[in-house]
Amino acid sequence: MSNDGLIALAIDDAGPALSGLANELLLACYGPRFTVSIHTLLESGKGEQKEGFDIVVHDGSTGDAKSMGLMSGGERTWVEACLTRAIALYLATHTGRRYSTLFCDEADGALDPDRKRMFMAMKREVLRLGGYEREYFVSQTPELTAMADVVIDLDAMKAQAAEEVLVAG
């Protein structure tokens, strides 16, 4: 069996659990609109089954299903965030390793204001489900930083340091 075959088997094995975790996060924080499924067998142009990889997103509002790559930026951001966190949750429960901290860098950019608040709810749900202690996230959105438990404001720290230099000088 080739490396590709082993990878496909590993994805086949983890796929249902990853989809389930991602769908749980999507439902808890975004509502019933989107669900995902992971496919490792794809149909070729000739109608034959071949190994591959695709994440199909089912839209409960329209009844459509499409590859995640065909979604709009904001919708894709949301689904990608849930999938990424589903992978973290899966690894936390299946590897025997415990992690206490998550990191996220400006992943909320393409979301509208309402979705940004839902995004924060999803982050809190992941912390709860995974037993994580904290998540450090970078955001340029004041509404989101206001929802954080603690804020590290680098601009304020820089201004304070400059002021201390002036006072000392």
pLDDT score recorded for residue 121? 86
pLDDT at 3 over 70: no
Which residue matches tokens 């995974």?
A: 130
* Cβ atoms within 10 Å of 32's Cβ, excluding its own: 10
Q: pLDDT (tens digit, 9 = 90+) per residue, 82-137?
A: 999 899 888 888 888 888 998 988 877 777 778 888 888 888 888 988 889 999 98
Beta carbons of 35 and 28 less than 8 angstroms apart: no
Beta carbons of 62 and 90 less than 8 angstroms apart: no
Beta carbons of 92 and 99 less than 8 angstroms apart: yes
pLDDT at 78 over 60: yes
Residue ranges of domains in the chain: 3-168
pLDDT score recorded for residue 75? 81
Q: pLDDT band for position 34 (50/70/90)?
A: very high
pLDDT at 70 over 90: yes
CATH topology of domain 3-168: Rossmann fold (3.40.50)
What's the average model confidence in pLDDT over 60-65? 93
